[in-house]
Structure 1
Amino acid sequence: MSAQPRRPVLAVVGGTDPAYRGYCLEAAAVDHRLVLIDSTAPRGLVNDLVEDHELADVQDAEAVVKAGLALAERHEIAGVLTWNEYSLVPAAALAERLGLPGNTVASMRACRDKGTTRRLLADADVPSAACERVDSLKAAAHAAARIGYPVVLKPASHAASIGVIRVDRPDDLPGAWQFTSSGARHQGTEGSGVLVEEYLDGPEVSVECVSRAGETVAVAVTRKELGFAPYFEEVGHTITADDPLLPVVAPVARQALRALGVSDGVQHVELRLTDSGPRIIEVNARIGGDFIGRLVHLATGLNLPAIASALATDRSPDLATTRQGSAAVRILHPSTSGTLLERRLPAHTVGVGGGELREVGWLRSVGEMINLPPEGDLHEARIGYLITTAPTLTGAEAARLAAEEAIVVRVRPGGPTA
């Protein structure tokens, strides 16, 4: 009886948050032996899934390369992968150093610095937004006047909508500048300053893409729901197999990836559906955040982390859909900031319109302080999530609404008491 071939070794850089990325690690571990580069030692589920690890600042390319070379002395690494936005450039640098498949460092820098993204998209005539990089309130005022209100202020190389705000009129600009410039202090090193951008009006979506050697297939459309205006906190997502929007937005997503030089892996391309057609917000060269990858799997059967792992180790993934349904997630927020006193879902089954409640998860514990925007970012504002599925989008949304209405949340305004 012949021995089974050993699974290839995949080096994962960062992205080990169990709530948002645990499913990615689990999927990658099915067909790969995992080694990890992270800023903290693996624990719990992560420790169970990885064979070896090295500690490093996962936003520092030099540190990640050094850690990866140490792992390469102990393992025959076949691929490098990250789903952490801030680790895209370091992961590309490590893959390049090891001679492994992947995107170039230059293309990852182009995605990470949103100012560079806008310039390259404009050069390639990809529909995007007018944009200027500024370093002072005075410069921001001049840029906003040239672009025309409303505008959006955002750090050049942050993620998760940190520091992003819409500004409707000149009188609102000083407060907005303080909010964004404060967020920009902790942004990634790939970009600098604050961007003043044209506000793109219309529904927001993302296109989930799979690329190999420059050939891109758009596999799903995520319809996004935003809250807490003038901030851009994402509060819900829905995905339907064979969404009729897919052929409308896919060509623009492919054009954007080509313009930025993104050739391999899984990408999350964000757009607004404006009166003049789809226009690019930004390009993320990794699996979409929150629970988007899980929704893609529930609606279509496509396993994005497994696909990304195969591509990283130079194998062709199977892109055949095995499901035809819809999936939805609601990110749960309280109605006010304060101390979380109670969060629970009654034990009775929730299901409406043929939908099914697949999962309820909690992100914050009783007794913790919850801060809604603008004081709190997504980590401080969210208390949990719920995921529903159904054969149709209407059913998935109905089940989501029923579950949301059944959830009990109590918050005491103000901070914890002794």
Structure 2
Amino acid sequence: MPSRPTVLVVAPADEALRGYCLDQVAAAYDIVLITGSAPAWERRCIRDVEIADPADEQALLAAGRALAARHTLDGVVTWSEWDLVNVARLAEYLGLRTNTPQVMRDCRNKAVQRTLFARHRVPSAKAMTARTLLEAALAAETIGYPVVLKPAAYAASIGVSRVSRSEQLPGGFDFAQAGAAHSRESTAVLVEEYLDGPEISVECVTYRGTTSAVAVTRKTLGAAPLFEEIGHSVDANDTLLPQVGPVAASAVRALGLTDGIQHVEMRLTDAGPRLVEVNARIAGDLIGHLVQLATGIDLPRAAADIACGTAPDLTRTRRTAAGIRLLYPNVSGTLTARHLTDGFFAHTPWLRQVHWLREVGDAVALPPAGSMYSARVGFFTVTGTSTRQVEQRTRLVLDQLTLTTTPTPQRPMPGRSHLSEAGPRADRS
């Protein structure tokens, strides 16, 4: 039998929300891996591994060189937002297909994205960068309240909040600056025009400069003023796709992306779709899995195909809908109960999975004191014939879920009063 092509995967992430990516690539490719710790669940998918911190460029290049000495590598891919730039450098170093490191660096910087969107006439938000509270105040007065403050180069909605009045600005700036401090690319804060309207994303596949918008993801957000994403749904028959697909493709072109998968976030305002940001990788929160459940399109396989110079198969084989709900407690504290009503799962074939991320007794911390990583207790996925049916079934599952925390006494957080009661709710739909 002819040997299968070999793809190098960097930073496979956790099994719960990213395991499907590695599994789907392994169905068509031999996989060699670079990861920061000894592989566990990944072993079912891989032929070889090098342990290296992907954030350490020299260690990453050395690991890639070692794997290239043992295998003929056809491509390299990652779905880790944090490692996009270094993985592009690695692919370039190994002579494999890639967007340039500079393009990936631009994609990691929301301020640069805004500049490129304006230059290429992609509808977006007015924005200014700020490194001090005074600069943020001047930017907010120039743009006009309400504004959104966020780290210029971070992800996962960390440090992002809406500020409606000038007295709320110090808290919002502190929150954004704390998130920005963890970024590898920029520690600046971005002050943006608030875009009012439903938030969606467009999942795109780009091959040799041509972008195909394959699905629309409808989002459910937690309580204001934060932008915590607590749910997503994908409908293969979503009538929005012809309207927002060209806008997403224009944003991808503006950033100079020629290959790969893109998760393009936007808001549907009264003036039409306007860009929030482009993420140059498969979306998180199992959105790629939802796309496959709803349409049959395999985004991880497409990412590997493109990395190896092969045209991806974007044939739709399904016309259904799927959704995920991410479970948050009502308050920070100690998780004291979490379960689904006995027997419910067995009688609901459309409830595809229920997965717990926290055990009873674990501490959970909502934003702004925590983040999605410390707050999420679990998630579940459902399928249906339409977005409406997915929403109905999501509510049915929520009615059968018990999620209880014992609050932890908290001292007031100076300067952050506008965020103190803003954690997302598990019962919001």
Pick the TM interval, shorter chain.
over 0.9
| 2:267 paired residue number | 272
Cα deviation 1:374-407 (Å, max 9, x = unaligned): 1110011110111110112222211111111101
Q: Distance in 1 between matches of 2:114 and 2:196?
A: 17
| 1:155 paired residue number | 151
| 2:363 paired residue number | 369
Tell me how far 1:350 sits from its aligned partner. 5.6
Q: Distance in 2 between matches of 1:192 and 1:325?
A: 42
| 2:38 paired residue number | 41
| 1:388 paired residue number | 382
| 2:418 paired residue number | none
1:23 to 5, 20, 23: 20
| 1:399 paired residue number | 393
| 2:73 paired residue number | 77
Q: Distance in 1 between matches of 2:359 and 2:3?
A: 41
Cα deviation 1:191-212 (Å, max 9, x = unaligned): 3311111111110000000110
Matched position secondary structure for 2:326: strand
Q: Distance in 2 between matches of 1:360 and 1:112?
A: 32
TM-score (norm 1): 0.95
2:127 to 131, 134, 155: 131
Q: Give yes or no for the alignment of 1:88 onto 2:84.
A: yes
Q: Give yes or no for the alignment of 1:231 onto 2:219.
A: no
Tell me how far 1:9 sits from its aligned partner. 1.2
> Any unmatched runs of 5+ in structure 1?
none
| 2:245 paired residue number | 250
| 1:204 paired residue number | 199
Cα deviation 1:74-105 (Å, max 9, x = unaligned): 11111000000011111111111112112111
Checking the alignment, whether the CA contact within 8 Å between 1:355 and 1:396 is kept in structure 2 is: no
Q: Count how many residue pairs are aligned between Structure 1 and Structure 2.
A: 409
Q: Give yes or no for the alignment of 1:170 onto 2:166.
A: yes
Counterpart of 2:73, as a letter, is: I
Matched position secondary structure for 1:77: coil
Checking the alignment, whether the CA contact within 8 Å between 1:129 and 1:197 is kept in structure 2 is: yes
> Any unmatched runs of 5+ in structure 2?
410-429
Tell me how far 1:23 sits from its aligned partner. 0.5
Q: Distance in 2 between matches of 1:396 and 1:81?
A: 32
Tell me how far 1:351 sits from its aligned partner. 9.7
Counterpart of 1:21, as a letter, is: R
Q: Report which stretch shifted further, 27-36 or 214-223.
A: 27-36
Matched position secondary structure for 2:105: helix
Matched position secondary structure for 2:27: helix
Q: Give yes or no for the alignment of 1:12 onto 2:6.
A: no
For 1:400-415, list aligned pairs within 5 A.
Answer: 400-414=394-408
TM-score (norm 2): 0.93
Q: Distance in 2 between matches of 1:128 and 1:191?
A: 21
1:307 to 302, 307, 320: 302
Counterpart of 2:61, as a letter, is: V
Checking the alignment, whether the CA contact within 8 Å between 1:9 and 1:79 is kept in structure 2 is: yes
Matched position secondary structure for 1:307: helix
Matched position secondary structure for 1:109: helix
1:55 to 41, 46, 51: 51
2:352 to 354, 358, 362: 358
2:312 to 317, 328, 333: 317
Counterpart of 2:256, as a letter, is: G
Checking the alignment, whether the CA contact within 8 Å between 1:307 and 1:318 is kept in structure 2 is: yes
Cα deviation 1:18-72 (Å, max 9, x = unaligned): 11111101111111111111211211x2122222222222123333222211211
Cα deviation 1:329-359 (Å, max 9, x = unaligned): 111111111111121112323699x981111
Counterpart of 1:291, as a letter, is: L
CA RMSD of aligned residues (A): 1.5
Checking the alignment, whether the CA contact within 8 Å between 2:201 and 2:266 is kept in structure 1 is: yes
Q: Distance in 2 between matches of 1:179 and 1:115?
A: 18
Counterpart of 2:33, as a letter, is: L
2:372 to 374, 378, 383: 378
Q: Distance in 2 between matches of 1:192 and 1:15?
A: 26
Pair 1:349–1:179, CA change in 2 (3 A): same
Q: Distance in 2 between matches of 1:367 and 1:391?
A: 38
Checking the alignment, whether the CA contact within 8 Å between 1:114 and 1:191 is kept in structure 2 is: no
Pair 1:350–1:72, CA change in 2 (3 A): closer
Cα deviation 1:157-205 (Å, max 9, x = unaligned): 1110111111101000011111111111111x22331111111111000
Q: Give yes or no for the alignment of 1:219 onto 2:214.
A: yes
Matched position secondary structure for 1:250: helix
Tell me how far 1:272 sits from its aligned partner. 0.5
Tell me how far 1:144 sits from its aligned partner. 0.6
Q: Give yes or no for the alignment of 1:195 onto 2:190.
A: yes
Counterpart of 2:7, as a letter, is: L
Checking the alignment, whether the CA contact within 8 Å between 1:241 and 1:300 is kept in structure 2 is: yes
Matched position secondary structure for 1:31: coil
Checking the alignment, whether the CA contact within 8 Å between 2:114 and 2:124 is kept in structure 1 is: yes
| 1:295 paired residue number | 290
